[in-house]
Amino acid sequence: MRVALLKRIFVYPYGLWLFIFIVAPLLIIVWFSFGGTDFTLYHYARFFSPLYEGQPFFQRIYIAVLMRSIYLAVISTVICFVLGYPLAYALAKFYSHKSFLLFLFLVPLWMNFLLRTYAWLTILEQNGVLNAFLGVFGLPATDLLFTDMAVVIGMVYNFLPFMVLPIYTVLRDMDKSIVEAAQDLGANKVQVFLKIVFPLSVPGVISGVTMVFMPGVTTFVISNLLGGGQFILVGNLIEQQFLRVGDWYFGSAMAVILMVLILFMMGLIKLFDRQPKDGRTDKTAEGGALY
Amino acid sequence: MEHFVDLIGITKTFGRELILDNINLYIDKNEFVTLLGPSGCGKTTTLRIIGGFEQPTSGELRMDGENMLSVPPHKRKVNTVFQKYALFPNMNVRDNIAFSLNLKKEKTAVIDKKIKNMLRLVNLDGYEKRTTTSLSGGQQQRVAIARALISEPKLLLLDEPLGALDLKLRLDMQLELKNIQKELGITFVYVTHDQGEALSMSDTIVVMNAGKILQIGKPKDIYDEPKNAFVAKFIGESNLTDGTMLSDFAVNFAGMDFECVDKGFEPNQAIDIVIRPEDIVITSPADGKLRGVVKNVTFKGVHYEMLVDAHGFLWKIHSTVLSPEGTEVGLTIAPDLIHVMKRDESSIA
């Protein structure tokens, strides 16, 4: 009994932290989103309302921005998966070099997120590194900066480790004898991967998708720097309402709508995770609007 | 005669460590062969080489006369039951067992019928839809066995399959495995460190230590005539002492001369003596060849284990007749129960 009590006491400091800095602010945001002391649904209605009579739903300005955010985040997540899975697989499989490869891979994470994103400015700008490089081979210069493409590049670059690491962890910890059993029963390398390795790595993929998609859909720094402000995402909208316009009510309403949407999409993703729960591989992502 | 499986001069090194040192072994059809030895003796590596999961550094592996080393594991007609079952956690019992048949694109009706028969064989009727995580250790092991047997391999490899089970279940499963092997007529290669398991199930036991084969033989032969002190100590309980071979059929140990049935040693050659605890007979002090005092008695269920201090040695004796602690007793040993073995310093663990 005393042990149980002690264990509970250990939870209190974090519990307090959780309440003051996460639960309470969330409640305040919800409270603001409903108009604070004067209860109203106006701020929600404003988000969905048309500019003119009969404007198609998805062309309404805030809806369109939200859709763009989701679209870019989905593209970034897909690219991260396509690049990240083979990398995680190689890291987990060819373990003799893994420590060095993994080290190389993690080094950029030691640098500040803003600095890393600023670096892409110099790479992508008109007279930047990329165009200088293309020029050496006589190739035409590109004009990537301040486009959707630049924002996607920024997201993929910054979020790729969060796709790779959970998949790598699941693959690395996979019981090798399960793979051997599949070979033993007549499966060739492709069959082993499709029938055993990939299905068993799905929890890692879900964590990775979550950890890329969530910061991707809420980012405002990457779109500010690399999108040049003209390609506005929902994160930028919320930022503007709080920091420039000063309309906390509308900003809160948008934040709540975004949260509900993310929760809904996470729920959808979880449907793919039909693994028997053994509590081992489910490394749930902790993410959010960090960037 | 053509053997079913031949291991010829198999040697395996990991870096500078010698794991297997020139293993020569043949296995006949329908034989139940057990590789027995302490952990790290190379028995699992030998099994993995037969299964195709390891390549030997040198040597040959033949099956039905064909070289197997260039054949990848998924093309060998060999299946394995792994130590920790290695069931596929993303599949239920049926799909686990059906795995090899699904790969061969067998018809569902055929698969279902085979699975039904196989589940009956391993006493898991009606478990098709169960998830593997809902099964007990013994049940998981049965599924693993069914999964390995359903594609009718010529050779089944078992890597300490009963190691994780409790004693009662282990004994039941030993019987079941032996029955399955007889019923299906499949060759089994079984790896264990449990000498009881090896003695009760095997046709042939291969005793290994430190990457070498020490002795190959039928269980009774290995028990009765261990080739050296290591085998004697590893299989069954024994009294182990050193002695001198005086001449053919005469040996000296514990300061006394004994008649024995061994010959062919140099005169006065130093040898090891093994005497099984049940082979020493307690008599009255006057009738005994050796004389001593009972120091300790432990009741073991079927018999008593008595430690008798005689001639500077503590003799372990098993008998159903109790001689209480402190009793003065005599000990006799029949000539054919004194096992004389060549000294082999390297094999004494």
CATH number for the domain spanning B179: value is 3.40.50.300
Q: Which of B165, B198, B224 is the endpoint of a domain?
A: B224
Taking only the tens place, the pLDDT of each residue in A100-135 is 777 877 787 888 888 888 888 888 888 888 888 888
Instruction: Provide the pLDDT for residue A1.
Output: 57
Is the pLDDT at B267 greater than 80? The verdict is: yes
> Among candidates B208, B155, B150, which has minimal Cα distance to B186?
B155
- Contact between A182 and B83 using a beta-carbon 8 Å cutoff: no
In this structure, is residue B328 part of a structural domain? yes
Length of chain A: 291
Confidence of residue A194 (pLDDT cuts 50, 70, 90): very high
Is the pLDDT at A284 greater than 60? The verdict is: no
Query: Of A51-55, A153-157, A282-286, B340-344, which range is least confident?
Result: A282-286
Q: Which of B170, B195, B224 is the endpoint of a domain?
A: B224
Burial class (CB in 10 A: 0-12, 13-18, 19+), B204: buried
Nearest residue of A to residue B99 by CA position? Answer: A185
A180, A185, A190: best mutation site toward chain B, by most B Cβ within 10 Å?
A: A185
B51, B73, B86: residue with CB nearest A178:
B86
Q: Which of B191, B224, B257 is the endpoint of a domain?
A: B224
- Contact between B73 and A199 using a beta-carbon 8 Å cutoff: no
B51, B89, B147: residue with CB nearest A200:
B89
Taking only the tens place, the pLDDT of each residue in B271-282 is 888 899 999 999
B67-75 average pLDDT score: 91
> Among candidates B324, B252, B328, which has minimal Cα distance to B288?
B328
How close does chain B come to A184, measured CA to CA in Å? 5
> Among candidates B31, B25, B30, B73, which has minimal Cα distance to B49?
B73
Full-prediction pTM beyond 0.90? Answer: no
Which residues from chain B sit within 8 angstroms of residue A196, using beta carbons? 88, 90
Question: Does B120 share its domain with B62?
Answer: yes
Which residues from chain B sit within 8 angstroms of residue A191, using beta carbons? 103
- Contact between A185 and B103 using a beta-carbon 8 Å cutoff: yes
In this structure, is residue B231 part of a structural domain? no
Q: Which domains does chain A have, with CATH numbers?
A: 57-275 (1.10.3720.10)
In this structure, is residue B279 part of a structural domain? yes
Q: What mean pLDDT value characterizes chain B?
A: 89
Which residues from chain A sit within 8 angstroms of residue B99, using beta carbons? 182, 185, 187, 195
Question: Does B168 share its domain with B39?
Answer: yes
Instruction: Provide the pLDDT for residue A282.
Output: 36
Instruction: Provide the pLDDT for residue A82.
Output: 97
Between B201 and A51, the higher pLDDT residue:
B201
Distance CA A68, CA A61 (A): 11
- Contact between B148 and A185 using a beta-carbon 8 Å cutoff: yes
Question: Does B112 share its domain with B178?
Answer: yes
A158-163 average pLDDT score: 92
Question: Does B28 share its domain with B175?
Answer: yes
How close does chain B come to A175, measured CA to CA in Å? 8
Contact B145, B109 (CB under 8 A): no
Confidence of residue A2 (pLDDT cuts 50, 70, 90): low
Taking only the tens place, the pLDDT of each residue in B202-256 is 999 999 999 999 999 999 999 888 888 888 888 888 888 888 888 888 888 888 8
Instruction: Provide the pLDDT for residue A58.
Output: 85
Helices marked H in chain B: 43-51, 93-103, 108-121, 137-149, 167-184, 195-201, 219-224, 229-234
A184, A195, A200: residue with CB nearest B80:
A184
Question: Does B176 share its domain with B204?
Answer: yes
Is the pLDDT at A275 greater than 70? The verdict is: no
B73, B90, B148: residue with CB nearest A183:
B73
> Among candidates A201, A212, A223, A220, which has minimal Cα distance to A266?
A212
Cβ–Cβ contact A38 with B under 8 A = no
How close does chain B come to A122, measured CA to CA in Å? 47
- Contact between B103 and A275 using a beta-carbon 8 Å cutoff: no
Question: Tell me, what's the ipTM?
Answer: 0.79
Instruction: Provide the pLDDT for residue B49.
Output: 94
Which residues from chain A sit within 8 angstroms of residue B147, using beta carbons? 181, 185
Q: How many domains does chain B have?
A: 2
Please give the interface size between A and B, counted as residue pairs whose CB atoms are below 8 Å apart.
72
Confidence of residue B58 (pLDDT cuts 50, 70, 90): very high
Q: What angle do CA B282, B287, B290 make, to 5 degrees?
A: 65
Confidence of residue A276 (pLDDT cuts 50, 70, 90): very low
A239-260 average pLDDT score: 92
Domain hosting residue B97, numbered range: 5-224
Is the pLDDT at B347 greater than 50? The verdict is: no
Question: Does B205 share its domain with B247?
Answer: no
In this structure, is residue B230 part of a structural domain? no
> Among candidates B277, B285, B275, B286, which has minimal Cα distance to B306?
B277
Instruction: Provide the pLDDT for residue A50.
Output: 86
B74, B88, B133: residue with CB nearest A178:
B88
Question: Does B131 share its domain with B177?
Answer: yes
Please report, rounded to a whole number, the percentage of residues in chain B having pLDDT higher than 70: 98
Distance CA B159, CA B45 (A): 10
Nearest residue of A to residue B148 by CA position? Answer: A185
- Contact between A175 and B86 using a beta-carbon 8 Å cutoff: yes
Question: Does B327 share its domain with B219?
Answer: no
A177, A199, A278: residue with CB nearest B86:
A177
Question: Does B64 share its domain with B35?
Answer: yes
Instruction: Provide the pLDDT for residue B238.
Output: 86
Confidence of residue A206 (pLDDT cuts 50, 70, 90): very high
Q: What mean pLDDT value characterizes chain A?
A: 85
Instruction: Provide the pLDDT for residue B349.
Output: 41
Confidence of residue A97 (pLDDT cuts 50, 70, 90): low
From residue B88, alpha-carbon distances to A79, A175, B133 in Å are 29, 10, 10
A181, A188, A276: residue with CB nearest B133:
A276
Instruction: Provide the pLDDT for residue A274.
Output: 59
Contact B115, B168 (CB under 8 A): no
Query: Of A174-188, A261-275, B25-39, B61-75, which range is least confident?
Result: A261-275
